[in-house]
């Protein structure tokens, strides 16, 4: 087991964003994290990334309680732009290279170039689509064990989505684990192996899509509608 979440709970004021969530992730799989807005996906992801502390419950990473050292093998991509305002595209690569041993600078430069991002572009001047591409290029240039991608396809045009999905599939080598939060079910249906359905902070269901297709023939959209 790569990641084990036991009775994970997080409150924001009176609101229980994640409510006793128990969820296990295996090594080498691609998971889709699905749920309505405000269902607790981002909060769960931030807890798994070690950015947010659970109010109750625990997270085990490769068998031990998750700690700051584990961030070296967890690549988290937030849904919002988060790079420092003063940075240029090249500075982002320099920053990741300085702090993450698994970061491949050459790959980052190739990916950003392919995405139309010039090294001297100011991060704060990027459009939302370009900003999303930059976040992905930086995150996927790491050779992490666990990738947590929060809505990676948000704000990205159709053609670029194809490129991003190809990048993710290139990285998914059976040794690393991907968790991809998204509302774009049709875009991810072809490559995610498990769908994790979150509702009101609870785990509504975790479905092996291949088995489900064999058993009931339901598409991901149908499953989403039925479960949530």
Partner 1 sequence: MGKLIKYELRKQRTSRMVIFIALAIALICFWAGVLFMNNALMGGSVAAMVFGAVFVLFYTGIEGILVFNRDLRTKQSYMLWMLPRSIWEILGAKFISAILQMLIVFGVSCAAVGISTAGAVLTIGGLSDFLRMIHETSKVFVQGGLNWGDLISLAFLLFLAWTLIIMTGFLAVILARTVLVKSRFAGLLAVILFFVINFVIERVYDVMYKIPFIAAANNVGALGWTVWDVIFYAAVCLALFGASGVLAEKKLSV
C-alpha 22/C-alpha 1 separation (Å) is 13
Please identify, among the stretches 58-66, 73-81, 103-111, 196-204, the one whose residues bind partner 1 according to the rule CB under 8 A.
Answer: 73-81
In the complex with partner 1, the residue whose CB is nearer, 117 or 195, is 117
Question: What part of residues 168-227 is at the interface with partner 1 (CB under 8 A)?
Answer: none
Q: Which two tokens stand for residue 215?
A: 């058993």
Cβ nearer to partner 1, comparing 98 with 214 = 98
Q: Are 214 and 39 in contact (CB under 8 A)?
A: no
Residue 84 binds partner 1 (CB under 8 A): yes
Phi and psi, residue 73, nearest 5°: -120, 10
Q: Does 64 bind partner 1 (CB under 8 A)?
A: no
Binding mask 100-119 for partner 1 (x = CB under 8 A): x-------------------
- Region near partner 1 per CB under 8 A, out of 58-66, 69-77, 161-169, 216-224: 69-77
Residue of the chain from 63, 98, 173, 186 that contacts partner 1 (CB under 8 A)? 98
Return the number of the residue (53 or 159) whose C-beta is nearest partner 1: 53
What length does the chain have?
A: 228
Residues 6+ apart with CB under 8 A from 90: 119, 120
CB 160 within 8 A of CB 129: yes
CB of 117 to partner 1, least distance (A): 18
Q: How far apart are CA 74 and CA 83, in angstroms?
A: 18
Q: Which string of b and e fits 55-65 if b means at least 16 CB within 10 Å?
A: eebebebeeee
By CB under 8 A, tell whether 154 contacts partner 1: no
Which x/- pattern over 2-31 shows residues binding partner 1 (rule: CB under 8 A)? ----------xx------------------
- Residue with tokens 């709970």, as numbered in its chain: 9
Longest CA pairwise span in the chain (Å): 53
Report in angstroms how near the CB of residue 51 gets to partner 1 at its nearest. 5
Q: By the criterion CB under 8 A, which residues form the site for partner 1?
A: 12-13, 46, 49-53, 68-72, 76, 78, 80-86, 95, 98-100
């Amino acid at each position: 087991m790569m990641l084990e979440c036991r009775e994970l709970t997080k409150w924001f004021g009176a609101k229980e964003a994640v409510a006793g969530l128990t969820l296990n992730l295996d090594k080498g799989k691609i998971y889709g994290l699905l749920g309505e807005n405000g269902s607790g996906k981002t909060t769960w992801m931030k807890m798994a990334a070690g950015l947010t502390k659970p109010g109750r419950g625990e997270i085990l990473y490769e068998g031990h309680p998750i700690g700051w050292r584990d961030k070296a093998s967890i690549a988290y991509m937030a849904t919002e732009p988060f790079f420092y305002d003063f940075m240029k595209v090249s500075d982002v690569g320099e920053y990741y290279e300085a702090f993450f041993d698994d970061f491949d600078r050459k790959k980052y430069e190739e990916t950003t170039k392919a995405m139309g991002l010039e090294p001297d572009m100011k991060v704060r001047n990027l459009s939302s689509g370009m900003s999303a591409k930059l976040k992905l290029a930086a995150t996927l240039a790491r050779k992490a064990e666990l990738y947590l991608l929060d809505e990676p396809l948000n704000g990205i045009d159709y053609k670029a989505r194809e490129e991003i999905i190809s990048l993710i599939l290139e990285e998914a080598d059976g040794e690393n684990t991907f968790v991809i939060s998204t509302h774009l079910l049709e875009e991810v249906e072809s490559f995610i192996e498990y769908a994790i359905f979150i509702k009101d902070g609870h785990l509504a269901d975790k479905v092996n899509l291949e088995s489900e297709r064999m058993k009931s023939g339901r598409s991901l959209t149908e499953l989403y509608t039925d479960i949530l």
